[in-house]
Amino acid sequence: MDTGTLSEIGKLLVLQEHDVRIRQIERELRDIPERKKGEEQRLATHQADAAKADDHQKGRQAAIKDLELEVASKREQILKLRRQQVDLKTNKEFQAIDSEIKSVESAIAGLEDKELELMALLEEANQLLAASKRELADEASVVKRDVVAWDQRAAALEAEVATLRAQRDAAAALVQQKAWLALYQRVFSRKDNALVPIEGGVCGGCHLQLPPYVVHEMKKQGTLVTCNFCGRLLYER
């Protein structure tokens, strides 16, 4: 193979090395916002859980408060009945009020039993709320750290890709065969790589056996041959 041709291929290979790395970085940069969004969605799920646990706990507190109000009003009722008893004339009337008081007292006892059950449920709700707040705080710090890390990664990649693009342009400027450069760029825009070696008569891109005339053509001076299967440009290592 002609050394001039080899060196043109060599220049294209340097260019391709840069282009492949640039493409990798661009892909990674494109994925970063999606990854950050995923982190934030995870946090939102924990926030929703904590809000739900908070509502649940408040609901139980409110139920206990209602019961307490009901008990207080029944106690008030008993006091009122007792005051009424003072002015009563007959034993029969007295006993009638007495039995009314007993029935209110038994209603209070029932409410107080219910309150004990509700207190146990409130305790459960308190523990659930505390656990979900702890999880939320842990998750928030993880997400915060991860988002900062993604931002730093993005900034580092932006800087790297800017340098690589400058190096890539310099490498492209060194290629004298502008038609080859244009061909390379056209193929690279469609494929993962544009310039591949032939090994044992097989295309290094699509791994298909090339017809002998293609291999023969490639060995000619000053020609750039494309694989007739995948369209990549071929060179001999």
Residue ranges that bind Zn ion, judged by CB under 5 A: 203, 205-206, 227, 229-230
Where does residue 91 rank: exposed (0-12), middle (13-18), buried (19+ CB within 10 A)? exposed
Distinct helix (H) and strand (E) counts, the chain: 4, 4
The distance of closest approach from Cβ of residue 218 to Zn ion in the complex, given in angstroms and rounded to an integer, is 12
Q: How far apart are CA 204 and CA 231, in angstroms?
A: 11
- Closer CB to Zn ion, 149 or 208, in the complex: 208
- Closer CB to Zn ion, 10 or 197, in the complex: 197
Q: How far apart are CA 122 and CA 139, in angstroms?
A: 25
- Closer CB to Zn ion, 172 or 233, in the complex: 233
The distance of closest approach from Cβ of residue 49 to Zn ion in the complex, given in angstroms and rounded to an integer, is 53
- Closer CB to Zn ion, 84 or 228, in the complex: 228
Beta strands (DSSP E) in the chain are 195-199, 202-203, 225-226, 233-236
The distance of closest approach from Cβ of residue 153 to Zn ion in the complex, given in angstroms and rounded to an integer, is 35
The one-letter code for the residue type at 121 is: L
- Closer CB to Zn ion, 15 or 187, in the complex: 187
The one-letter code for the residue type at 131 is: A
- Closer CB to Zn ion, 71 or 234, in the complex: 234
The distance of closest approach from Cβ of residue 1 to Zn ion in the complex, given in angstroms and rounded to an integer, is 19
Q: How far apart are CA 143 and CA 42, in angstroms?
A: 8
Residue with tokens 């842990």: 138
The distance of closest approach from Cβ of residue 176 to Zn ion in the complex, given in angstroms and rounded to an integer, is 25
Structure tokens at 106: 């038994």
Residue with tokens 């340098």: 163
The distance of closest approach from Cβ of residue 11 to Zn ion in the complex, given in angstroms and rounded to an integer, is 22
Q: How far apart are the first and last CA of the chain?
A: 10
